[in-house]
Amino acid sequence: MPDNPYRDLDRAELEGLGSGLGVQGGQAREELLRRDREYADEQERDRREWETRHQAARQEFEKKLAKRQMDHAAAIAKEQLDAAQGAEKAARNAAAAAWAAAIAAIVTALGVIGQLIVAIVT
């Protein structure tokens, strides 16, 4: 488009000219509409850019949140594994102590039986 004399005018001047009739009024209104469309397009571009940045930030947040949750779950699972292993060791020690007590009872019983035999024989 060749140099448009209306491009350099401010909005108030264009609105004043645009309220008139004739070619000059039509061109002024046309320039106002062009500026409005340009402004709306710029606003739409800005909105889309903001949405893109917002979506990227949201995805990054969700990614970090998922990692924190996984790390936390792994730490809890490790604590539970450690507790289960401790319980298993305690159960094995208790079983060994029970066997030792049973063997001691058998040995004691054999000792008593031995003493009874000696007492009967003598």
DSSP the chain: ----TTTTS-HHHHHHHHTS-HHHHHHHHHHHHHHHHHHHHHHHHHHHHHHHHHHHHHHHHHHHHHHHHHHHHHHHHHHHHHHHHHHHHHHHHHHHHHHHHHHHHHHHHHHHHHHHHHHHH-
Where is pLDDT greater, at 14 or 51? Answer: 51
Q: How far is CA 101 from the centre of its chain?
A: 54
Give the model's pLDDT for residue 1. 47
CA atoms within 13 A on the CB side of 39: 7
Q: What is the pLDDT of residues 95-120, one digit of tens each?
A: 999 999 999 999 999 999 999 999 89
pTM: 0.52
Q: What is the pLDDT of residues 58-69, one digit of tens each?
A: 999 999 999 999
* Residues contacting 77, CB < 8 A, separation 6+: none
Average pLDDT over all residues of the chain: 91
Residue ranges per domain, the chain? 11-121
